[in-house]
């Protein structure tokens, strides 16, 4: 399949280019998620960025996560955006209006929702990387892991306390942006019930001005819903209990729940090593096992795929996307379900599709109706999602599978553009280029 893209960088050059992207996106205060499209710090981006940075400059990687956690809300929530002064992104801090939120942070402006809990994973990875470096770096990384641990614990506790409503055991999101997979078809059904009122204050999108082809981004109709949910939260003063009780969108997110389970495991490992409180370790073990059970219980009896749950309409969401493979991240599903998922992942519906430039799982199967190879979370491949599966497979002892995903990820990204996402057949980089988290995961694969 080679030759469809003009440039393929050799690995040392690719690594140098990735390092340059992270350097260039550094404002001095934060490393922005992308140079023009995303001029702020995003929560889960910052976690991946720190992993890449750990190879280049450990103190800078530490500073990045410290900046994010300085913006942690007093109730424990880690906000999805920490704003810089740049006003090129919409919705910015004024639109969010979190300044008066009771639980909000002081001295820093943030959005009022969260993103997937991958931060413990990043901290552990940083420690692993630092251990292959000098004794000083090792000591610094361990000191950092010890000092950030309580904040990670309270972030996880927040997810349990405020975001595990009802009996499904799934962690709930109140906005598609919290999933990180903004316009994934996973959310089409619950979003159909979100009706932006006449009272939606007017707004002008900025993302579509930056991205040359607006069809690579969510639609205006989708944006109205995104903004309406913010309006609801703002009116509720960002009172989480109130939002979970009333907002027009409440969905148990199976992918977040799986990441939460495995992040709790990681936090237990770190906490055991660095002498944290036994009671807290026991909490984490309980949360991990409940989350794992919830993921397993969501699996469809025929396909085996894990499902989100619409908690407003009380029904499973059967749309099949990459998130359906969530049990492979955290384990806990019966062996027979796991085997079914692995063979599905290898099949021509997913990584084995003969048309793919690289066998990286697309966000939606190319065989599903509604698959769109160019639109954001509706079909393109996301290097960062590939990294998560590779990381999880390595951890689960599936070294050959992990190696294959790493190679596939490098094949996808060897054009050196560090696309936000990729057209799966041509390998064209889409969305932003020089996207920080893409550069970061490439660096991690290369080292
Ligand atoms: C995308 O989301 C933001 C909103 O949070 C956007 O479209 O404006 C998503 O891909 C999200 O997962 C990611 O963290 C963010 C920054 O890279 O961009």
If you search the block for the tokens 């999805």, which residue do you land on? 80
pLDDT at 6: 78
Residue 1 predicted with pLDDT over 60:
no
* Residues linked to residue 172 through DSSP beta bridges, in sequence order: 252
3-class secondary structure, 252: strand
Q: Is 41 in the pocket of ligand 1 (CB under 6 A)?
A: no
Domain assignment of residue 3, yes or no: no
Residue 66 predicted with pLDDT over 50:
yes
Over range 33-56, report the average pLDDT: 98
CA distance readout (Å), 5 to 47, 71, 161, 214, 360: 30, 41, 48, 22, 17
Over range 291-320, report the average pLDDT: 97
Q: Is 44 in the pocket of ligand 1 (CB under 6 A)?
A: yes
**Share above pLDDT 90 across residues of the chain, in percent, rounded to a whole number:** 97
Backbone angles phi, psi at 205, to 5 degrees: -70, 145
Q: Is 216 in the pocket of ligand 1 (CB under 6 A)?
A: no
| pLDDT tens digit sequence for 85-106 | 999 999 999 999 999 998 998 8
Phi-psi sector, 28: left (phi>0), alpha (psi -120 to 50), beta: left
Domain assignment of residue 1, yes or no: no
Q: Which atom of ligand 1 is nearest to the CA of 382?
A: 10
Domain assignment of residue 5, yes or no: no
Which of 32, 35, 38 has most ligand 1 atoms within 8 Å of CB, for mutation?
Answer: 38
Catalytic residue, candidates 182, 224, 239, 293 = 182
User: How far is 318 from 298, CA to CA, in rounded Å?
Assistant: 10
Residue 66's nearest CA partner among 29, 98, 99 is 29
Q: What single-letter DSSP state applies at residue 89? A: S
Over range 420-443, report the average pLDDT: 98
> What residues make up the domain containing 130?
11-446
The number of folded domains in the chain is: 1
pLDDT at 54: 98
pLDDT at 149: 98
pLDDT at 4: 59
| pLDDT tens digit sequence for 359-389 | 999 999 999 998 999 999 999 999 999 999 9
Residue 345 predicted with pLDDT over 80:
yes
How far does residue 400's CA lie from ligand 1's centre (Å)?
31
Is 420 considered catalytic here?
A: yes
Domain assignment of residue 222, yes or no: yes
Domain assignment of residue 392, yes or no: yes
- The stretches of 34-134 forming alpha helices (DSSP H) are 43-54, 58-70, 93-96, 119-131
**CB-based contacts of 431: which residues, under 8 Å, 6+ apart?**
37, 211, 216, 217, 376, 380, 419, 420, 421
For the entire predicted model, the pTM comes to 0.98
Complex ipTM value: 0.99
Residue owning the nearest CA to atom 11 of ligand 1: 180
CA dihedral 127, 45, 386, 16 (to 10 degrees): -70
Residue 2 predicted with pLDDT over 80:
no
Residue 321's nearest CA partner among 187, 421, 120 is 187
How far does residue 363's CA lie from ligand 1's centre (Å)?
14
Specify whether the CB–CB gap between 250 and 244 falls below 8 A. yes
Q: Is 180 in the pocket of ligand 1 (CB under 6 A)?
A: yes
Specify whether the CB–CB gap between 393 and 401 falls below 8 A. yes
User: How far is 89 from 103, CA to CA, in rounded Å?
Assistant: 24
Q: Which atom of ligand 1 is nearest to the CA of 45?
A: 14
User: How far is 351 from 362, CA to CA, in rounded Å?
Assistant: 7
CA–CA–CA angle 276, 282, 285 (5° rounding): 110
Specify whether the CB–CB gap between 94 and 83 falls below 8 A. no
Which of 33, 42, 116 has most ligand 1 atoms within 8 Å of CB, for mutation?
Answer: 42
Q: Is 282 exposed, middle or buried (0-12, 13-18, 19+ CB in 10 A)?
A: exposed
Over range 251-278, report the average pLDDT: 98
User: How far is 225 from 307, CA to CA, in rounded Å?
Assistant: 22
Residue 3 predicted with pLDDT over 60:
no
pLDDT at 5: 81
Phi-psi sector, 104: left (phi>0), alpha (psi -120 to 50), beta: beta
Domain assignment of residue 6, yes or no: no
pLDDT at 179: 98
Q: Is 383 in the pocket of ligand 1 (CB under 6 A)?
A: no
Helix axes 135-163, 278-297, angle to 10 degrees: 60
pLDDT at 197: 83
* Stretch (H or E) spanning 313: none
Catalytic residue, candidates 265, 283, 420, 423 = 420
Residue 105's nearest CA partner among 78, 140, 143 is 78
Domain assignment of residue 129, yes or no: yes
Q: For position 184, which CATH number holds?
A: 1.50.10.10
- Taking every pair of Cα atoms in the chain, the longest distance, rounded to a whole number of angstroms, is 61
| pLDDT tens digit sequence for 103-142 | 998 899 999 999 999 999 999 999 999 999 999 999 999 9
Domain assignment of residue 77, yes or no: yes
């Amino acid at each position: 399949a080679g030759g469809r893209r003009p440039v393929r960088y050799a690995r040392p050059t690719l690594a140098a280019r990735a390092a340059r992207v992270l350097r260039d996106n550094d404002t001095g205060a934060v490393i922005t998620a992308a140079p023009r499209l995303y001029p702020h710090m995003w929560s889960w981006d910052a976690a991946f960025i720190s992993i890449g940075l750990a190879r280049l400059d450990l103190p800078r990687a530490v500073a990045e996560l410290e900046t994010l956690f300085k913006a942690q809300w007093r109730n424990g929530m880690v906000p999805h955006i920490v704003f810089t002064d740049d006003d090129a992104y919409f919705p910015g801090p004024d639109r969010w209006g979190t300044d008066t939120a009771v639980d909000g942070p002081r001295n820093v402006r943030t959005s009022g929702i969260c993103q997937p809990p991958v931060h413990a994973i990043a901290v552990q990875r940083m420690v692993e990387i630092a251990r292959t470096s000098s004794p000083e770096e090792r000591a610094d990384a361990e000191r950092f892991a010890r000092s950030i641990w309580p904040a990670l614990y309270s972030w996880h506790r927040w997810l349990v306390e405020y975001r595990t409503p009802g009996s499904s055991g799934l962690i709930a999101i109140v906005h598609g942006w919290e999933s990180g997979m903004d316009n994934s078809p996973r959310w089409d059904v619950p979003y159909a019930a979100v009706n932006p009122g006449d009272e939606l204050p007017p707004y002008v999108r900025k993302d579509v001005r930056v991205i040359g082809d607006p069809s690579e981004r969510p639609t205006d109709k989708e944006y109205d819903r995104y903004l309406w949910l913010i309006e609801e939260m703002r009116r509720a003063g960002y009172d989480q209990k109130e939002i979970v009780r009333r907002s027009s969108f409440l969905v148990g997110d199976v992918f977040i729940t799986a990441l939460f389970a495995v992040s709790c495991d990681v936090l237990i490992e770190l906490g055991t090593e660095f002498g944290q409180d036994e009671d807290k370790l026991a909490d984490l073990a309980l949360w991990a096992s409940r989350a794992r059970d919830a993921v397993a219980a969501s699996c469809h009896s025929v396909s085996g795929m894990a499902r989100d749950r619409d908690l407003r309409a009380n029904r499973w969401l059967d749309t099949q996307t990459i998130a359906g493979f969530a049990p492979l991240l955290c384990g806990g599903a019966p062996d027979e379900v796991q085997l079914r998922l692995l063979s599905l992942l290898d099949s021509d519906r997913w990584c084995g599709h003969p048309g793919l430039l690289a066998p990286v799982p697309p966000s939606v199967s190319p065989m599903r109706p509604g698959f769109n190879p160019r639109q954001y979370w509706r079909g393109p491949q996301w290097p960062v999602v590939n990294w998560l599966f590779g990381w999880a497979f390595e951890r689960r002892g599936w070294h050959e599978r992990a190696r294959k995903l790493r190679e596939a990820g490098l094949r996808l990204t060897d054009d050196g553009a560090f696309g936000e996402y990729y057209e799966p057949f041509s390998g064209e980089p889409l969305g932003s280029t020089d996207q920080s988290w893409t550069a970061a995961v490439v660096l991690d694969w290369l080292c």
